[in-house]
Structure 1
């Protein structure tokens, strides 16, 4: 009896081992059907069949056990199964095969060697391996999924080349969130001259890291190095990059999305969400060749593009980006050229570049100087004090300047000897610049005093609206003839009408030069009159910023008053974000760029322009988009100038747009730079949510958009605010930061709101520590009667109607 009992226990023991093995392995006698899964030993990853998004097609994939929607590998990407009859098994030959309902092979590991005891196992690294059951170690793998990445790079995976077989391991995006077949974007290691990582759109370069310099890939220095350790291997057998988590419990991944964004994510157990900690392209300067040949991109400057020293714009594509930069004066190799050192750069792309990895920097300079075709040089390796020689013989393409210079490298550019400036001359030049700046400042100061005195005396002399002649004297911009504008707009035809605002109708026109313009025509019944007209002309004529709409001129003839602006082909922001069909055209990356542009534009108005300007009517419909979707603030008819030590002003005539005006302005008529900050906060929450604050009411709690956003923030559900069309393109950590900044901007009391300089800093720096927002203005719940009243107001103040309104405090 005892022996039978012992045999029974022995049988149960081996049965348990068999069941444990079955949880993460497949053998010739053990397979999985659709509906069954493999789970790795520590339950990190799971393998099974799934249908992505709204698709009904079935795919075999691997995903994180904690987040089954985060698929990291797909077997049959381009060959889905149309029903739920799929089976994953091992064939008689020893291959891992995926069969459909007719037992046809949909996908196979396609190994060339027959195995007697094959077994497939899902490892805790997320790697699916095929091996001989009696072999150990990764060298014995007959096949592994890590050699065939999909769109995701997991810790331990290799990105790069097997030099023996010629096999390249790289990421390929999904076609869409519902379709894991091969998309347009790839993320791969280029090993031409020096290794660097590229994002490609087809065969077109979209973005790059910069070359590996022995320490980091140029442009991404120090990114989250406290979370993961990066490894770069270059030997006779392979060249690859990989990363490992420094803290094993940290779950992380990097991926290329179907929209072309490369993202690094970390799993947060507390909220059961992925935190987007890094993305690329991150800003406009990340886009390949943004500033064209021999130009440098600096995201903290306006405009962001400028030619390298020794170069000038050869031709101009638009106001912000030269098509190419050419030598300001030709090189003279025989007479002797010199080199100018530029610091903190992402080095140019390695086009027409040679490498000698044994030279010192001094030897590199000497060699480049003797070679008349050499245009620039740099160290190829930054480790150990620097060594190696990179020399460029062609155009210098895709250079960016880093805000933090320690993140970049030094580049030495060849210039004629006459352009080389010695230290002594440089100091002298700086002193001259300072002296000229001081003198210019004094002259500007007295000029402003004279202008103010002239305006005060003129105002005291006039008691009625100035006549046309006086208006012309007050306008310091180009004056167009009415006939010229009438011809340009086809006599203000309805076919040329492109919009309307508080000023009046807006027409598209084409001047005799072929240049397209937008013409604003003061309507007879407009709430704005001659004062607003002169105000807008004089203000915009003085303002120069890439995120402010450009004024070409005006027209004053008889009763006609016209403003002629640069034409914005993509209309206004509200045209996109409040339309369900068009909202998807603006990805999160594009929306964030728009937010940053508007923030910088407001900062210029409040702080960096010669006059401190309060816009007073910032809203989505007053943000115009140019051909490249760059944002520009428009409609300065209601703007006001603050002079001297003015901090705020009070008016009995409250003007603006309901839903964007701050509480202190709406109720008391008090406005300041913090009024614009409030409007910016409303705009920021609108661009995130795709919802208008004016007229918004949540069915559960009846708060407006500001109150709804604040409630979600306090319940740690702020991501629910985001427009559904942004789900696939958004960077969640960036969205959360934007929501927090938006709520800080719309706080009830002006003193609690940040200045625009702080707003720009908080948005641009993910390391910045942000305060917790307090209750926003106009947060209180509204009764059904009040909601009906608000709805009535919304009807009276449509986007195309006059935006001036006089409100009484309640």
Structure 2
């Protein structure tokens, strides 16, 4: 730009004619045959005093031409600056428009992520869009498959580097899906407790239903006890901690919800474990209000955990959950599944197998899970066995309330793990995580 301005100024200055110079002696420097030179010589001879006047007029004319050249150059410079400014402004506006358009496309995604983060912090539930779940689970690829829960499969969802969740996709008959989806959604929107899974969001996509839960890094108690590790990550103290956490969750449902709630599907696969092995109850698709008419309750649950009075007579109460808790306690103690197939035509139930052995204190240590055998106080082992025996009594009235169970187990759990037991030996704090 400055080169162009300099060139323009040079051209204007070159267009100005050079002045005719005179000497005081009257000898012209121009050509002798020029009429103007002859006339000037004559005038100089006749009037010597006119030379300074001519020179002054000539200088004024030169200054005027220079001034005009500067004005033209300045105008040209201003024009170039204005032109470049307009180009820059247009380009900036276009860039901002493109950026705003791009951001506007990302706003729904950002809003959903923010709402999901707020749901995680505040205990609220966000309505999610299907494409967001699809992207977070990589279109529900097998690599993100976590396992099967009641009425559906669960997938790991990565919404951001710091926000992981578990997405449950409901599968099955349409009527059952809709009923259990709405039931679980309604309950988890109302229930908030440290030992009950937090619901972050939900999604309705055509006929498919989704629930988005907080991520539990160590997955389920079932996968820990009966998976590849066979309970090796669960020490005696951790098992007691899990039992206390489950009892606290049930106590909240039975004693502090209004109206009281019966979970109706308590089992090891519905007990989820976080990175510190804190346990939380999940899967409330079958949960019902305690005390409703028995004839309206459809028989549901999992074989091996279902209380006999509910299985045979359809009678359901909070004591049905206590029975399931007793089976869960036996799983933690013995390390075996509630129902094991020992032949093509015969299954063995953990309750019927364990009951005679639990009553014999001399045989009790031999049936304990080998992973934790001889690692606990024998007195504590007898106490846990006694609680389990009471919980799985055939007659509901013989079973204790979950509050009494909780108070019996808390003294067996170290202070560092949420109990009241003071121990001299250190509790292992470096807890292994399931990958």
TM-score category of the 2 structures, normalised to the smaller one: 0.5 to 0.7
State the aligned residue count. Answer: 287
Distance 2:234 2:241 in 1: 10
Match of 2:408 in 1: 762
Task: Tell whether 2:138 aligns with 1:493.
Answer: no
SS in 1 for 2:298: coil
Aligned pair in 2 of structure 1 residues 581, 520: CA closer, same or farther (>3 Å)? closer
Match of 2:209 among 526, 544, 561: 561
Aligned pair in 2 of structure 1 residues 527, 689: CA closer, same or farther (>3 Å)? farther
Match of 1:725 in 2: 371
* 1:555 CA displacement: 0.7
Match of 1:753 among 394, 399, 403: 399
Conservation of the 8 A alpha-carbon contact between 1:520 and 1:562:
yes
Match of 1:679 among 300, 324, 335: 324
Aligned pair in 2 of structure 1 residues 747, 513: CA closer, same or farther (>3 Å)? same
Match of 2:224 among 576, 580, 589: 576
Alignment deviations for residues 131-159 of structure 1 (CA, whole Å, 9 cap, x no partner) = xxxxxxxxxxxxxxxxxxxxxxxxxxxxx
Aligned pair in 2 of structure 1 residues 526, 582: CA closer, same or farther (>3 Å)? farther
Distance 2:408 2:142 in 1: 44
Alignment deviations for residues 291-316 of structure 1 (CA, whole Å, 9 cap, x no partner) = xxxxxxxxxxxxxxxxxxxxxxxxxx
Distance 1:526 1:722 in 2: 43
Match of 1:521 in 2: 169
Conservation of the 8 A alpha-carbon contact between 1:587 and 1:730:
no
Within-5 A mapping of 1:116-265:
none
Conservation of the 8 A alpha-carbon contact between 1:572 and 1:621:
yes
Conservation of the 8 A alpha-carbon contact between 1:689 and 1:722:
yes
Match of 2:59 in 1: none
Match of 2:153 among 505, 510, 519: 505
SS in 2 for 1:563: strand
Aligned pair in 2 of structure 1 residues 689, 697: CA closer, same or farther (>3 Å)? farther
Match of 2:77 in 1: none
* 1:605 CA displacement: 0.7
Distance 2:185 2:161 in 1: 23
Conservation of the 8 A alpha-carbon contact between 1:541 and 1:551:
yes
| More helix per residue | 2
Unaligned stretches of 5+ residues in structure 2:
1-119, 413-435
Q: Relative contact order, CA 8 A, sep 6+: which one is greater?
A: 2
Match of 1:659 in 2: 304
| More strand per residue | 1
TM-score, scaled relative to structure 2: 0.62
Q: What RMSD in Å do the two structures reach over aligned CA positions?
A: 2.3
Distance 1:627 1:654 in 2: 34
Match of 1:607 in 2: 255
* 1:764 CA displacement: 2.3
Alignment deviations for residues 644-698 of structure 1 (CA, whole Å, 9 cap, x no partner) = xx37734462111000000111111111100000000001011100001212669
Conservation of the 8 A alpha-carbon contact between 1:647 and 1:672:
no
Match of 2:386 among 736, 740, 743: 740
* 1:712 CA displacement: 1.4
Distance 2:331 2:293 in 1: 26
Match of 1:641 in 2: 289
* 1:629 CA displacement: 1.0
* 1:761 CA displacement: 1.3
- Tell which structure's C-alpha radius of gyration is larger: 2
Distance 1:513 1:765 in 2: 39
SS in 2 for 1:695: strand
SS in 2 for 1:530: helix
